[in-house]
Structure 1
Amino acid sequence: MWRIFLMVSLLCWSADGQDVTCRDNNNGEVDWYIMYKAPKLNNIGTKGLEYIYIDPKGKKTSKDHNKLINNTNGVLANTLRPLFKPTTSMPADFGFISYSDQPPDGKGVPDKFGHSKGLVMMDKAKTGVWLLHSVPKFPFKRDNNFYPTSGSVYAQTFICVTFNYNQFNKIGQHLLNISAYPFDHHIPTDFYNELKEAANKSSGNRIPGEIIQHLTSAGGTQFRSFAKKLYKEEERPQQGIYEGDLYLTIAKEYNTDVKVQTWPCNQDKPYCEQNQPQVINIKSVKADLGNGEVKWEVEWKAVSSPVSGTQTVTLMLDH
C-alpha cells in the first residue's frame, strides 16, 4: 500500500466535444494525477518549470516529452482547456470556481477566507475536475497565459481528480467549510446549492468548520478530503500548541507517521509524542527529473500566528 497527499486553482478547445476530466500530456483522460514541480535553482540548472508526474499508470517526468509545466499542450493546459473561453460562450451544463488566498490581481484577501488554492469545474451531465495546487496567482488568465511567471520560483504541488457530478455537492460544501476565496466563477442556477454558495463571497453559509469527507473518483478510487481550522494564538493554550495542525490530523486519522515539506506555523521542530504518530519536517528533497538525481534544500521558516477562521484543505489518495 502507498499513500500520497498534497497540499494541495487552475484552468484551444471548448468544453463541447471534450469531457471535463483530468488529462495527461497527450490529452488522454485520466482518473487522477499528481504533479510535483521543482524550484528554480541555478546550481542544479532547473528552470523552475520541470516536474514529476504520477497517474494510475505510473510515473513520468517533463523530460520524457520535453513539455514544461506551462506548455500550452501540456498536462495543465489540457486539463484546463474548457476554461479557455468567455463565460458567455460556455455550455449550459458547464460551471467552474477558481479559488485562492493569493488571486491573480495581487490584492489581499480578507482574513476570514481560508489559506487554500484550487479549482473545480464540471459538466452537470457527466464528470468534473477538482484540481488543488499551491501556486499563487494561478490560473493567471483563462487562456494560454494560464501559468504565472512567478510560479517558477518555488517547488509547487498539484493533485487533480476526476469526479462524477454527484460528488460535487460534497466538494462544494467543503469549499464552504474552508472558506475558500472565489476569485473567478461561473455556476449556472440549476447546479448544486453548495456550489452556488461557494461561488458567493458574501454567502452566510461560509462558516469555518472541521470535517473529513470520503469521496470516490469517477474511476472508483477512494479519497479523503480534510478541512482543518487553525486557531488564534490566545486559543492555543486551551487547544494545545499543535491543535489545528492539518498534518497532525492526517497522521492521527491514518495512525501513521507523516513527512511534510511545508511552511509550518509556530513549529520549528517535528511533532513528536511518545507512542503517537509523528509529523516530521522534510529538510531536503532528492528527485530524478529525467537527467539523473538532483537535490535541493527546503526553504521554510516559522511564520506568524494564523488568524481565526483560516483553514487548509488536503485531498488524500489511498491506493
Structure 2
Amino acid sequence: MGVMWRIFLTVSLLCWSADGQVKCRDNNNAEVDWYIIYKVPVTDKTTGLEYLYIDSAGKKKDTLTTDPTYKPINHPNGVLANTLRPIFTTSMTDNFGFITYSDQPPGCNAIDTFGHSKGLVMMDKTTTGVWLLHSTPRFPFRRDQNKFWPDSGAKNAQTFICVTFNYNTFQQIGQHLLDINAFTFDDHIPNNFHENLKNLRRTENNNRPQRVNQVKIQDLTSAGGTLFRSIAKKQYEGGEEPEDDQCGDEPPPTKKPRTEPPPTIQEPKEEYDGDLYLTIAETYTTNVKVQTWCSKKESSYCKGPQVIRIKSVKTNLGNVEVKWRPGKDHSKWCVAKNNNNHLICIADVNRALSQYERPGGGLCFIHQQASELFKGVIAETEDCR
C-alpha cells in the first residue's frame, strides 16, 4: 500500500506540472490570481502560525483555531503548501522550472554582495507560473510537503505575496531577480527557458556581471490582468562600516513612560538613495508608512516625500487582540499615508544602513481592500513634525 501511494503521489505531482497547474492557490487549493499573507509572531496569545490573508477572489480573513476551516501556515494542505506543491517532487519535466532564492537559505547565509531578498519562482513553460516573494529565513526548508516550513519560522511576524503570471512575464521577473542579485539556493531551469532565468541558476551565482547601480522599475501584468510594479533599488556606496541591524525583543517598559518627540525634518543624505521605501515614495509621489525588521533604529524620513516609521502593529484574530513591535516583526511592507491612496508594497529589505548598501526590491500595486487591511493593523507611528 505504501509503495502504491508513493507511485500515485509522484504521478499526481508530475501531472500537476505537466498540465500547467502552476498557480497561486488558497487554503482550499482553489486557484487565485494573487494573495497576501501577514503572519503574526509568537505572543502570549498566539503560536506564531496564525495569519491575516487577502486574495484576488475577495477572500479576506484572519485565522483562528476556533474556525473549523483553520489551517496553520505550516499545514501540509494549507495555502503555502498548496501553492508549493509542484516542487514537492524530485522528478522534473522539460516544461517545468523553479528557482528558490534567499540571503538566508537553509544551513547558511549568503555574503552581503547578494540581495537581501527571499522568494521563489516556478512556472510551466506552456502556461503560467507564480512569483512568491516573502521575508522568512530558511523557507522553504525542504522540498517536502511535511517539512517545507522551518522551525524558526514561527517566532517573528512575516509577509508573503504570491502572484500568478503568464510564462512570458518571467523574462521580466528574471531581470528583476538579476537586478537585486538574488542568491539562488535551489533550482531546476531547463535550457529552453528564458535567458534571464538561466542566468539565475546556482552555477551562475558567482559568475554574473556586476549589476548596474540604479533604480530599475518594471510594470508586470498578472495572468488575471492586475497591474503590478517591481522596483529594484539603488545601493548606497558610502563605504562606511555597516551597522548591526540585528534586533531583539522590545525591552520591558520603564516605570515612567517616556514620550518620543517626533523627528524633525532632516537634510537629505546620500545614504537615503539606498532606502527602498524612499524610492517607492518618490516613484508614486506619496508619503508612505513602513514596517520593517528593526525599524526602531531608523527614524522617519521627513524631507518629502515622507517615509513614516511604524512603531507597533495590532490586529484582532477573531476576538483576540494581538499587538507587537518591530523586535517581533521581520516583515517588510509599506502603504500610502493618504487613506485615499490604495498603494501597497510587499518588499524584502529593511530600513537600515546595512540594507541601504545591499541590493533589494519589492512588488507594489494599487488595491483598496489590501491596502486597507494593512493600514488597519497600524497601531503607532513616528510622525514628522
TM-score exceeds 0.5: yes
For the 8 Å contact 1:266–1:304, the answer to whether it is kept is no
Give a deviation string over 1:211-262, Cα, whole Å, max 9, x none: 0110000000000001013214348999623111000011111111211111
> Residue in 2 aligned with 1:34?
36
Give a deviation string over 1:116-167, Cα, whole Å, max 9, x none: 0000000000000000000000000001200001000100000000000010
Alignment of 1:41-190 (within 5 A): 41-42=43-44, 45-56=45-56, 57-63=58-64, 64=67, 65-86=69-90, 89-105=91-107, 107-144=108-145, 145-190=147-192
Structural RMSD (CA) = 2.3
> Residue in 2 aligned with 1:255?
285
Question: What is the CA-CA distance between 1:205 and the residue it aligns to?
Answer: 3.5
Instruction: State the distance in 2 between where 1:146 and 1:315 align.
Output: 24
Structure 1 247/31 Cα, relative in aligned 2: closer, same or farther at 3 Å? same
Instruction: State the distance in 2 between where 1:98 and 1:208 align.
Output: 23
> Residue in 2 aligned with 1:217?
222
For the 8 Å contact 2:236–2:272, the answer to whether it is kept is no
For the 8 Å contact 2:18–2:95, the answer to whether it is kept is no
Amino acid of the structure 2 residue aligned with 1:82 = P
Larger mean CA deviation between 108-117 and 144-153 belongs to 108-117
Question: What is the CA-CA distance between 1:289 and the residue it aligns to?
Answer: 2.0
Amino acid of the structure 2 residue aligned with 1:83 = I
For the 8 Å contact 1:122–1:128, the answer to whether it is kept is yes
Amino acid of the structure 2 residue aligned with 1:288 = N
Q: Which ranges in structure 2 are unaligned for 5 or more consecutive residues?
A: 1-8, 242-266, 330-349, 368-385
Give a deviation string over 1:43-83, Cα, whole Å, max 9, x none: xx110010001002131122242200000000000000000
Q: Which ranges in structure 1 are unaligned for 5 or more consecutive residues?
A: 1-11
2:360 aligned residue (298, 312, 317): 312
Instruction: State the distance in 2 between where 1:175 and 1:18 align.
Output: 23
> Residue in 1 aligned with 2:321?
293
Structure in which a larger fraction of residues adopt helix: 2
Structure 1 302/18 Cα, relative in aligned 2: closer, same or farther at 3 Å? closer
Structure 1 243/224 Cα, relative in aligned 2: closer, same or farther at 3 Å? same
Give the TM-score of the pair, scaled to structure 2.
0.73
For the 8 Å contact 2:312–2:324, the answer to whether it is kept is yes
Secondary structure of the equivalent of 2:363? Answer: strand
Question: What is the CA-CA distance between 1:269 and the residue it aligns to?
Answer: 1.3
Instruction: State the distance in 2 between where 1:306 and 1:277 align.
Output: 20
The structure with more radius of gyration: 2
Question: What is the CA-CA distance between 1:286 and the residue it aligns to?
Answer: 1.2
Secondary structure of the equivalent of 1:132? Answer: strand
Structure 1 238/61 Cα, relative in aligned 2: closer, same or farther at 3 Å? closer
Higher relative contact order (CA 8 A, sep 6+): 1
Structure 1 240/303 Cα, relative in aligned 2: closer, same or farther at 3 Å? closer
Larger mean CA deviation between 132-141 and 53-62 belongs to 53-62
For the 8 Å contact 2:274–2:356, the answer to whether it is kept is no
For the 8 Å contact 1:98–1:185, the answer to whether it is kept is yes
Secondary structure of the equivalent of 1:241? Answer: helix
Aligned residues: 300
Give the TM-score of the pair, scaled to structure 1.
0.88
Give a deviation string over 1:249-278, Cα, whole Å, max 9, x none: 1111111121111136895310001xx221
1:193 aligned residue (180, 192, 195): 195
Q: Which aligned segments of 4 or more residues in structure 1 are displaced greater than 6 angstroms?
A: 235-239
Question: What is the CA-CA distance between 1:96 and the residue it aligns to?
Answer: 0.3
Larger mean CA deviation between 221-230 and 60-69 belongs to 60-69
1:278 aligned residue (298, 306, 330): 306
Larger mean CA deviation between 155-164 and 49-58 belongs to 49-58
Secondary structure of the equivalent of 2:211? Answer: coil
Instruction: State the distance in 2 between where 1:103 and 1:205 align.
Output: 22
> Residue in 1 aligned with 2:347?
none
